[in-house]
Amino acid sequence: MLKSTFTPIFSSFPSKTTTLQKFPSYSVISNSFTQSAPPIHQNSSVSAPTVTIIPPLQHHPPTSAYVHLPFCRKRCHYCDFPIVALGSANPTDDDPRISNYVELLRREIVSTIPEFNIHPPLETVFFGGGTPSLVSPRLVSSILDTLRGKFGFLEDSEISMEMDPGTFDSNKMKDLMRLGVNRVSLGVQAFQEELLKAGGRAHGVKEVYEALEIMRSCGVENWSMDLISSLPHQTPQMWEESLRLTIQAQPKHVSVYDLQVEQGTKFGILYTPGEFPLPSETQSADFYRMASQMLSDAGYSHYEISSYCKDGFECKHNFTYWKNKPFYGFGLGSASYVNGVRFSRPRKMREYMDYVHNLENGAVDCYGNNHLDAKDLAMDILMLSLRTARGLDLRSFTDVFGGSLFYSLCKVYKPYIESGHVVCLDEERRAMTADEFNNLFTHEDEISSRLAYIRLSDPDGFLLSNELISLAFGVIAP
C-alpha cells in the first residue's frame, strides 16, 4: 500500500499505517494535475516567509490503545508488516505461538508506566495485525481484562478488530461480541478470485460471501469493509464491480487503500511501480475518483482521505490519529504517542521479547530523546487535518503556533484555492468563492477574522494532497 513520504507522523502510527497509506502517491498527483494547478517545482522557488512557532500546549493522557496481533496464515504479496505466518490452516485454541505471544503482550501492558498521575479510562481499543481474528476469544478476553485492569474502559468504548474472511465462524463472532468487540474491519480487499490469488490472500471469494453472511446473521451493526485498488492486472471494470458489491453488502464504513510496492515484499521483487501489470498512475487516480463518486452516491460520507461512512459511523479510534491525540501502542512493531513523544517497539520477535523483559526490569527509557519540536508537531497537525473532510482549524492552529503562519499558508495555497483544490471556509463552515478569498487576501487583518478553516476538495484536492502538504511544510520549516 502507499507509504507516506512525510516521516514525522507515519513512522509513528501503529504498524498497518506504515504500508496501508490513506492517500494517493505523489507520482499519481504530479502527473494528474499539472495542467490544473502549478506543480510544486514552480512554487518552491518562492521565498518562504519567516515563521515563528510557539511551543505547543501541554499534552493529555491517552484514551486509546492499539494492540498488535501479528498472526497470519500466510504473508500477502504486498505485506511488509511485522507478522508471524502460521500456515494455511487456522490455528488451534492452544497454539503456543499465539498463547506465548499474548502472555508477552499482557506483560508489556502491565509493565507500562503511564506518564500521568490521572489515568482516564480507554475510549477506544483497536486490535490490528496481522489477522487478529485468528486469535481465540479466550486469549482476546485475557488481553481485554489486562487493559481493563490497567486503564479501565469507558462504558461505551469502541473496541475494533480486524478480521479476514475464512478465519472466523458465527460462534467465534458471537463470542467476540460478548467480550465487547463492537466494531469489525473486514479485510475483503477484492471480489475477484484472480486478484485475491495474485495478491497472495489466504481467502477466496467464497469465504468473502461466507463472512458477509456471518456478519449479517450475528447482527454486527458497526463494521467496515477494506478494499485495495491498483492491484496487478486490476481493470476499471473489476474495481467498479468491487465497489458495487461493497455497496450491496451495506457496511457502515468503507476503507479504500491504494497499492504501493514495498521493497522486500514479493511484489517488490516482481513489479516496478508504474509499469505493467500494475495500473498506470492515471488509472490509479481514476480508481480513486470512481470510489469517491460511487460511495458518495450511495450515501457514504467521505470523511477522511480514504475513509467513507454512513452517518454516525466514523471510526472513533482513527480519529485519535487524525486529531493528533495521544495513544498507547502494545505489541510487536507497534507505536505509542504519549506526552509529545513517539515510541516504536521492535519489529522482530526476539528483540520484542528482550524489550518486554527490559521494560519489566525498568531498563527501558521509552521517552528519552524522542520529543518532537514545535515545528514537527505543527507539520503533524497540518498533515493529519488536511487528510479529513473537516480540514485544518486555522484559528486553533494559529493560537498554538503563532499568527505569522496563518497568512503564509494562505499565500502559498492561493493558486490552489483559485484552481479549486483547496477550499476556504468561514466560521460557519460556509465555502468561500475564490473571488471572496482574493478580496480578503489583500487585507491581512480581515482575512484572519473571516477565514476559519481550509480543507482539500473531494476528490481532486485529496489526490493532490502530498504536494499541498509539502508546500505547507516548506512554510513551516523553510
Residue that finishes a domain, picked among 302, 323, 344: 323
Question: Is 2's pLDDT higher than 80?
Answer: no
Q: Is 195 within the bounds of a domain?
A: yes
Q: Angle at which helices 404-419 and 465-476 pack, to 10 degrees?
A: 160
Based on the fold, state whether residues 144 and 274 are members of the same structural domain.
yes
- The enclosing H or E element of 105 equals helix 96-111
Amino acid 401: pLDDT: 82
The residue ranking higher by pLDDT, 440 or 193, is 193
CA gap 390, 380 in Å, rounded: 16
pLDDT for the residue 36: 32
Specify if 9 maps to a domain.
no
Are 274 and 378 found together in one domain?
no
Q: For position 269, what pLDDT does the model report?
A: 87
Count of the separate structural domains present in the chain: 2
Question: How far apart, in whole angstroms, are the C-alpha atoms of residue 280 and residue 282?
Answer: 5
Mind listing the pLDDT tens digit for each residue in 341-353?
888 999 999 999 9
The CA-to-CA distance between both ends of the chain, in Å, stands at: 30
- The mean pLDDT value of the chain amounts to 85
Residue 178 falls inside a structural domain: yes
> Domain range spanning residue 467?
374-476
Residues 144 and 272 in one domain: yes
Q: Mark whether 312 and 382 lie in a shared domain.
A: no
- Residue pair 308/290 in contact (Cβ under 8 Å)? The answer is no
Average pLDDT of the segment spanning 219-237: 97
Find out whether 425 and 454 touch, Cβ atoms under 8 Å.
yes
Per-residue confidence band for 370, with pLDDT thresholds at 50, 70 and 90: low
Between CA 473 and CA 283 the distance in angstroms is 28
What's the pLDDT score for residue 180?
98
Please give the pLDDT value at position 157.
98
- Last residue of some domain: 323, 358, 386? 323
> Within this chain, do residues 225 and 148 fall inside the same structural domain, yes or no?
yes
Model confidence pTM above 0.85: yes
* Higher-confidence position of 402 and 11: 402
pLDDT at 134: 97
Question: Is the pLDDT score of 16 beyond 70?
Answer: no
Same-domain pairing of 306 and 451? no
pLDDT in tens, 19-36: 333 333 322 222 222 223
Segment 187-196 mean pLDDT: 97
| Same domain (yes/no): 85, 187 | yes
Please check whether residue 344 lies inside any domain of the structure.
no
20 lies in some domain: no
pLDDT for the residue 119: 82
Whether residue 384 sits in one domain with residue 251: no
pLDDT in tens, 290-311: 999 999 999 999 999 999 999 9
Residue 372: pLDDT band by 50, 70, 90 thresholds?
Answer: low
CATH code assigned at 258: 3.80.30.20
194 and 260 share a domain?
yes
* Residue 6: inside a domain: no
- What's the pLDDT band for 12 if we cut at 50, 70, 90? very low
The confidence score (pLDDT) of residue 42 equals: 27
Least confident of 72-81, 170-179, 211-220, 394-403: 394-403
Share of the chain above pLDDT 90, in %: 66
Tens digit of each residue's pLDDT (9 = 90 or more) over 156-174: 999 999 999 999 999 999 9
More confident residue, 31 or 475: 475
The tally of CA atoms less than 13 A away on the side-chain side of residue 412 is 26
Residues 6+ apart with CB under 8 A from 169: 214
In this prediction, residues 379-406 reach a mean pLDDT of 89
Residues 316, 395 within the same domain: no
Instruction: Specify if 139 maps to a domain.
Output: yes
Inside any domain, residue 127: yes
User: Are 311 and 380 in a shared domain?
Assistant: no
pLDDT at 446: 75
Q: Which one-letter DSSP state was computed for residue 16?
A: G
Q: Of 323, 344, 362, which marks where a domain is finished?
A: 323
